[in-house]
Amino acid sequence: MNRRHLLLGGGGAAAALGLGAYAATRGPSYDAAADAVWVRQSPQQLSQLHYLVHHATLAANSHNTQPWLFSGGDDRVAIRPDLRRATPVVDPDNHHLYTSLGCAAENLGLAASALGRTSSVDFLAGEDAVQISLGGSGAAPDRLFEAIHDRQCTRSVYDGRAVAPEDLKTLESAARIAGCSLVLVTDRPRMEQILELILAANAAQIADPAFVAELKHWLRFNAAEAVQHGDGLYSACSGNPTMPGWIARPVFGLVFTADAENAKCAAQVRSSSGFAVFVSDRDDPEHWVSAGRSYQRFALAATALGIRHAFLNQPVEVARYRPELAALIGIGDRRPDLVVRFGYGDAMPRSLRRPVGDVILNGPA
């Protein structure tokens, strides 16, 4: 995993501790939990709100904190930030948090289309809410809806194959959202330059004890921890060994090193076909939501084409690297929001979500 998607120094630490057997399986309880989260729900069996929120919560979200609260009625759903789930060290201005709400809003609108309803998304600054207004029946289902259950962040080494130009065009057009643009980088020299920034920012984050402590708080080192919480970053989702928390937590700081993590990042980038960098027109929550929507559409279109992707956001998270990244991709003084690599590879274990009932507030939107 790139730094947060760690790790534990690969299999070395686990092997040294004689934990191969423990690490070998995810266990039936994890698979059952993942099956329950990613099940294709039938609209006949659920209320409209439950159906829409189920699909919204399958969206990408930073650290898998699921920082959202939903409320709504027949014609409107609101998504508000759950600030108890903020990550103030890696995300001091809540940029990633609002971007995550945008990802959820996009999935929610796509699910509405599967119910035949039109939708439009607005950011209500006064209410600090993303509002999805639902229109009348008769909308055609958006084809991206079908990919919601198969999308995942795939944090493995890919196979190095290039994505064909016509597929890149499909991704660009799927990602089109007002207030945000997408820059694709597929030439190797510039990919190496972006990699340099990723490695420098990654080392800066790993050298920061507060960053490491926050990350560790959201790591789930084994299936039981992951299932118990239904959130956070489960190590197997990044291809890393699992082990008891009482062993993993004390040794984490020793094996989570810049050298080890940077070697993984370099292999991941060099096996990828390109980078997608999402850039919002303005640096405020409304536009961060747009960036999240754009990413989610990109990710779903990629999934439908069999193209994998994963974030490597270090150079947008460590603020001092943003200007250099902006210069590299020619976006003037706009803020680069998200850095995503893409390419071809095998699926990884799915991540978990909390129950839908835990994120729905009673009362009108």
Q: Distance between the two ends of the chain, CA-based, in angstroms?
A: 37
Candidate residues 71, 100, 181, 272; the one interacting with ligand FMN per rule CB under 6 A: 100
Q: Single out the segment in contact with ligand FMN by CB under 6 A; choices: 183-191, 195-203, 258-266, 310-318.
A: 310-318
Site string for ligand FMN, 10-49 (x = CB under 6 A): ----------------------------------------
For ligand FMN, the binding residues in 58-87 under the rule CB under 6 A are 60-64
Q: By CB under 6 A, is residue 117 in contact with ligand FMN?
A: no
Chain-centroid distance, C-alpha 138: 31
H-run or E-run covering 154: none
User: Total residues at the site for ligand FMN (CB under 6 A)?
Assistant: 21
**Contact in structure between 96 and 109 (CB atoms under 8 Å):** no
Contacts of residue 17, Cβ cutoff 8 Å, sequence gap at least 6: 243, 247, 251
Q: By CB under 6 A, is residue 194 in contact with ligand FMN?
A: no
What does the DSSP 8-state code read for residue 126?
G
Site string for ligand FMN, 212-241 (x = CB under 6 A): ---------------------x--------
117 vs 154 by CB, closer to ligand FMN: 154
The distance of closest approach from Cβ of residue 87 to ligand FMN in the complex, given in angstroms and rounded to an integer, is 10
The first and second tokens of residue 333, run together, are 């003084």
Concatenated DSSP letters for 321-336?
GHHHHHHHHT-TTPPE
Candidate residues 168, 184, 310, 329; the one interacting with ligand FMN per rule CB under 6 A: 310
1 vs 243 by CB, closer to ligand FMN: 1
For ligand FMN, the binding residues in 146-185 under the rule CB under 6 A are 152-153, 155
- What is the spatial distance between Cα 95 and Cα 293, in angstroms, rounded to a whole number? 13
Q: Single out the segment in contact with ligand FMN by CB under 6 A; choices: 57-65, 80-88, 122-130, 324-332.
A: 57-65
Chain-centroid distance, C-alpha 74: 28
Q: Which of 265, 279, 262, 269 is nearest to 186 (CA)?
A: 269
Candidate residues 199, 313, 321, 325; the one interacting with ligand FMN per rule CB under 6 A: 313
Concatenated DSSP letters for 269-321?
HHTSSEEEEEEESSSSHHHHHHHHHHHHHHHHHHHHTT-EEEE--HHHHSGGG
For ligand FMN, the binding residues in 237-296 under the rule CB under 6 A are none
Question: Which residues make up the interface to ligand FMN (CB under 6 A)?
Answer: 1-2, 4-5, 60-64, 96, 99-100, 103, 152-153, 155, 233, 310-311, 313, 351
